[in-house]
């Protein structure tokens, strides 16, 4: 069989969680991923010396690791773990019960009986009231075990090899001592300190190549010129033009400098954040000393106008613009996504065999003497979905690759030295690895507001920086760079959302406030107002007439919902841009007295498993209230839902239990407008939320609401006249 070169390219990135005002890391994920993905992927290679791979570390992630190692950052989850369980206040207990189940329940909680027991003791879903009660009910031993398990379950496969006591703690399961808990935190600190040296050593022995990205992970084409977004989305609404090519060059130069500081030499390769490229960045990348970069296969197809994968995908290219050039490689999307999204749910040996079979098939069709297959993906998030942290899959895969007679694993840089590009692209497509455009980061109302606020701060910096002191200028410049990162814009808009959206929103605005503060300027009042808001979204169909559904959880007749309003979720919901949604569609309507809601689940309500899901139907207008129910209901309990209204203190008050709900193949419920407190003629806004514990799984619609007018006496007459 013809040989093929295989390039694994692991991209490591976390948002810049550090709040420079409070000195806090608003999320613990840099610390947690260090004990899993960052440590695992480089350490396991030591067992397979013949393998070669490429790693990409975003400088702002490395900066956060360094901040941890120097003790410059407060991590509230760490502090709540370190505190002796017997000394915790009620509020600290509630913090722990709220945050310390933030794991993948299927792979990181359910396999451990004690961790599972603690979840049941708290409740799979909680309200403010039940959380407070659980915090009072938990014993000191319960709380300490929870402190341990949240941290213990995040340790990856190689951490348990390096520190065998971690396996013993998992076997012990419960009754942990304060000394054992402190030892776990000590191991975390040790691993954090080892991450950068391990990668430096692996590159020194020739097993890996280390690459970089612009410092704070910005979408480089949008920093260069936000108007570039119209190249792939001609009709997209855009903010005021943001046009700072020098900022792209600055973030690249700082990334190269920092990379050399940490690893001893300048990087040859670059991952453009989110695979976002355009022709104009090519000279800037070249001027920074970068010799090659990578992106998605669809960018290649759109650049060349060719889609014969065997003929065009499995080779490097020379990309030219403005008299400068760099080499480029393009990821095999399907095979990369199988590792990132699919293989976790398959038997590991079979998954590894499938990967090798796919490589063999590609080798047969790929043209050229030594084709290059590029596997490029997130290197930290997938392993939470693998039952054993990915160990069995990776070992089967690496053993197969080590024994292969036709696959050679390569570092990208060394491959390009041996096989320089023969083909040239002179018109590089402007797009990213998501939909081949920049739509995730610009174009929606929230995105554009954020860009306008960033643009105002950047303009203020341009006017005032020259008259500021060097220290003030440097601080303001750093805050601009951080605010230019892609992560803030990822969470704005309708496409992606999480329970942490408000924290990201606040942190983005904090960076902008710090620009003005550093320059001695008044902070604009707009920066005190959240960018996040809920807006009305379009639905597939508006309600046409009064409904008369039978609330039995079944589609008893085609006609009972035929006149309903209909909303269908069309966009993915995941930080990794892929998901298995619980809700397939929503239908809604009313008669003169009742609001009716139908939820079409992807699985039957009884198939949600032992933990189940909690559904919230939130109304924001004309009054703020919430319908809540669980699927499946508690064992032996009748299916009901709770209706509660938000009181003056901002909490949901007295709950009314109603029985007009049924769940079978579909979910149906009815609630009187009188119980909701809605008067005829008023516009009502609602959205549906699916949560597990305190983790939001889905929200429909994302970042918005469905609107309808509460019917009055004229509703049916008006509808009849309009038909």
Mean pLDDT of the 702-712 span: 83
Task: Supply the range of the domain harboring residue 697.
Answer: 536-722
Q: Provide the residue count of the chain.
A: 723
Who contacts 604 (Cβ-Cβ below 8 Å, separation ≥6)?
664, 665
pLDDT at residue number 673: 96
Question: Facing residues of 600 across strands?
Answer: 585
pLDDT at residue number 613: 77
Q: CATH number for the domain including 452?
A: 1.20.1430
Question: Which of 472, 502, 532 is at the close of a domain?
Answer: 532
Q: Which of 526, 455, 527, 532 is nearest to 493 (CA)?
A: 532
Same structural domain, 562 and 698? yes
542: in domain: yes
Mean pLDDT of the 59-69 span: 98
pLDDT at residue number 558: 79
62: in domain: no
pLDDT at residue number 722: 40
236: in domain: no
Tens of pLDDT, residues 496-515: 777 678 888 989 999 999 99
233: in domain: no
pLDDT at residue number 603: 66
Mean pLDDT of the 420-426 span: 97
Question: Which of 532, 564, 579 is at the close of a domain?
Answer: 532
Who contacts 23 (Cβ-Cβ below 8 Å, separation ≥6)?
72, 73, 74
Per-residue pLDDT at 128 exceeds 80: no
Q: Which of 201, 649, 203 is nearest to 413 (CA)?
A: 203
Same structural domain, 542 and 619? yes
Same structural domain, 545 and 605? yes
Percent of the chain with pLDDT over 70: 93
Question: Which of 164, 180, 204 is at the close of a domain?
Answer: 204
Same structural domain, 590 and 454? no
333: in domain: no
Q: Which of 175, 89, 82 is nearest to 136 (CA)?
A: 89
Same structural domain, 503 and 569? no
pLDDT at residue number 717: 54
pLDDT at residue number 502: 82
Same structural domain, 575 and 526? no
pLDDT band with cut points at 50, 70 and 90 for residue 720: very low
Question: Facing residues of 630 across strands?
Answer: 614
Tens of pLDDT, residues 156-215: 999 999 999 999 999 999 999 999 999 999 999 999 999 999 999 999 999 999 999 999
Per-residue pLDDT at 650 exceeds 70: no
Of the listed ranges 39-48, 417-426, 558-567, the least confidently predicted one is 558-567
pLDDT at residue number 130: 86
Same structural domain, 572 and 670? yes
Same structural domain, 570 and 492? no
Per-residue pLDDT at 61 exceeds 80: yes
Neighbours of 713 (CB within 10 A): 9
703: in domain: yes
401: in domain: no
Same structural domain, 676 and 548? yes
Mean pLDDT of the 87-99 span: 95
Structural domain total, the chain:
3
679: in domain: yes
Give the predicted TM-score (pTM) of the model: 0.77
Same structural domain, 580 and 707? yes
Instruction: Give me the chain's average pLDDT, please.
Output: 91
Q: Which of 579, 577, 581, 677 is nearest to 621 (CA)?
A: 677
The widest CA-to-CA distance across the chain, in whole angstroms, is: 80
Q: Which of 457, 449, 456 is nearest to 532 (CA)?
A: 449
* Cα gap 465→661, rounded to integer Å: 62
Same structural domain, 117 and 200? yes
Same structural domain, 515 and 651? no
Who contacts 244 (Cβ-Cβ below 8 Å, separation ≥6)?
223, 224, 458
Contact assessment for residue 133 and residue 11, using Cβ atoms and an 8 Å cutoff: no
Per-residue pLDDT at 54 exceeds 60: yes
pLDDT band with cut points at 50, 70 and 90 for residue 611: very low
pLDDT band with cut points at 50, 70 and 90 for residue 553: very high
In angstroms, the first-to-last Cα distance of the chain is 67
The dihedral of CA 435, 436, 440, 442: what is its sign? negative
Per-residue pLDDT at 132 exceeds 70: yes
């Amino acid at each position: 069989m013809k040989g093929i070169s295989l390039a694994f390219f692991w991209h490591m990135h976390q948002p810049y969680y550090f709040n420079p005002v409070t000195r806090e890391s608003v999320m613990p994920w840099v610390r947690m991923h260090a004990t899993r993905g960052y440590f695992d992927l480089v350490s396991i290679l030591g067992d397979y010396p013949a393998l070669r791979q490429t790693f990409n570390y975003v400088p702002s992630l490395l900066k956060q690791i360094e901040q941890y190692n120097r003790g410059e950052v407060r991590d509230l989850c760490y502090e709540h773990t370190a505190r002796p369980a017997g000394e915790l206040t009620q509020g600290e207990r509630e913090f722990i019960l709220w945050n310390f189940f933030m794991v993948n329940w299927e792979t990181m909680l359910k396999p451990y009986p004690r961790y599972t027991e603690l979840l049941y003791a708290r409740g799979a879903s909680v309200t403010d009231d039940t959380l407070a009660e659980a915090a009072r009910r938990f014993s000191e031993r319960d709380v300490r075990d929870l402190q341990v398990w949240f941290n213990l379950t995040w340790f990856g496969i190689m951490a348990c090899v390096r520190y065998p006591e971690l396996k013993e703690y998992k076997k012990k399961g419960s009754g942990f001592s304060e000394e054992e808990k402190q030892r776990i935190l000590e191991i975390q600190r040790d691993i954090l300190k080892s991450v950068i040296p391990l990668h430096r050593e692996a590159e020194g022995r020739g097993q890996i190549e280390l690459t970089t990205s612009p410092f704070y992970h910005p979408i480089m084409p949008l920093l260069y010129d936000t108007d570039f977004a119209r190249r792939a989305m001609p009709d997209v609404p855009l903010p005021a033009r943001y046009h700072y090519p020098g900022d792209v060059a600055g973030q690249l130069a700082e990334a190269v400098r920092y990379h050399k500081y940490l690893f001893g030499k300048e990087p040859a390769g670059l991952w453009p954040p989110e695979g976002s490229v355009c022709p104009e960045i090519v000279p800037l990348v070249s001027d920074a000393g970068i010799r090659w970069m990578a992106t998605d296969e669809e960018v290649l197809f759109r650049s060349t106008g060719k889609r014969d994968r065997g003929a065009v995908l499995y080779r490097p290219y020379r990309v030219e613009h403005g008299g400068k050039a760099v080499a480029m490689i393009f990821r095999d999307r399907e095979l990369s996504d199988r590792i990132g999204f699919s293989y976790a749910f398959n038997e590991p040996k079979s998954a590894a065999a499938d990967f090798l079979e796919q490589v063999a098939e590609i080798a047969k069709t790929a043209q050229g003497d030594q084709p290059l297959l590029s596997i490029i993906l997130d290197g930290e998030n997938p392993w939470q979905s693998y039952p054993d942290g990915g160990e069995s899959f990776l070992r089967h895969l690496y053993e197969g690759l080590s024994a292969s007679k036709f696959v050679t694993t390569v570092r990208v840089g060394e491959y390009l030295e041996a096989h320089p590009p023969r083909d040239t692209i002179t018109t590089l497509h402007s797009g990213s690895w998501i939909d081949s455009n920049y739509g995730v980061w610009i174009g929606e109302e929230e995105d554009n507001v954020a860009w306008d606020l960033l643009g105002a701060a950047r303009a203020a910096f341009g006017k005032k920086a020259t008259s500021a002191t060097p220290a003030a200028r440097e601080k303001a410049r750093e805050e601009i760079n951080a605010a230019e990162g892609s992560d803030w814009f990822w969470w704005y808009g309708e496409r992606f959302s999480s329970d942490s959206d408000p924290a990201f929103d606040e942190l983005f605005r904090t960076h902008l406030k710090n620009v003005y503060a550093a320059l001695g300027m008044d902070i604009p009042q707009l920066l005190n107002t959240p960018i996040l808001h809920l807006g009305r979204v379009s639905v597939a169909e508006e309600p046409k007439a009064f409904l008369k559904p039978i609330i039995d959880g079944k589609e008893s007749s085609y006609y009972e919902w035929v006149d309903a309003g209909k909303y269908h979720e069309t966009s993915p919901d995941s930080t990794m841009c892929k998901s298995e949604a619980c809700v397939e569609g929503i239908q809604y309507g009313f008669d003169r007295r009742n609001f009716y809601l139908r939820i079409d689940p992807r699985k039957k309500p009884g198939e949600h498993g032992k933990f189940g899901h909690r559904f919230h139907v939130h109304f924001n207008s004309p009054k703020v209230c919430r319908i809540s129910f669980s699927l499946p209901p508690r064992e032996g309990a009748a299916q009901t839902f709770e209706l509660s209204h938000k009181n003056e203190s901002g909490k949901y008050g007295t709950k009314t239990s109603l029985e007009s709900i049924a769940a079978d193949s579909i979910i149906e419920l009815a609630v009187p407008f009188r119980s909701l407190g809605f008067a005829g003629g008023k516009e009502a806004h609602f959205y549906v939320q699916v949560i597990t514990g305190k983790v939001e799984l889905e929200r429909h619609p994302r970042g918005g609401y469905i609107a309808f007018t509460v019917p009055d006496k004229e509703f049916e007459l008006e509808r009849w006249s309009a038909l």
